[in-house]
Amino acid sequence: MQQENKKLFEIFNQQFKELTAIYHRAASQHDISDNEFWVWYALFALDGEQSQQSICEMWSLPKQTVNSVVSGMIKKGLVYLETIPGTRNKKVIRLTEAGQKFGEKVILNVYEAEQRAIGQISPQQLQLCTELLAKYISLLDEEI
């Protein structure tokens, strides 16, 4: 039984690496880093306004990483930061016209491909997959 679990775990890890490679390939096609890809993804594929803090929390990225990515995007004229009224220093990331065009080119094809793929999985299968992955993440976090 132990050998069978080991083999299944190897397959499990390989599948995660394959998934990571797919997103890396998508980022590379547009000459951006994986971290920049996930910032663009947050700005285009997810609902609501995004702050640097929300992106850090969403993708488990360090603040400095997100800050560096956003600073680079600002220098390229793709985004700007806007202070949220009523807050001391919280800012949302806003797209410029050039940023809107670039982000659509980078993210929308990936997002639509994800939606087509997910559409081929039953809601029950998707629910089970997310529940099991959440359980594994929680258990691994406790163990480490």
Give pLDDT tens digits for 49-83: 899 999 999 999 999 999 999 999 999 999 999 99
Task: Kindly list the structural domains of the chain, giving each domain's residue range(s) and its CATH number in brackets, ordered by start.
Answer: 33-143 (1.10.10.10)
Sequence-distant (≥ 6) Cβ neighbours of residue 51 within 8 angstroms: 84, 90, 91, 92, 93
* DSSP single-letter state for residue 84: P
Mean pLDDT taken over the chain = 93
Residue range 16-37: mean pLDDT, rounded: 96
Supply the pTM of this predicted model.
0.86
Nearest alpha-carbon partner for 35 in 52, 10, 15: 52
pLDDT of residue 1: 62
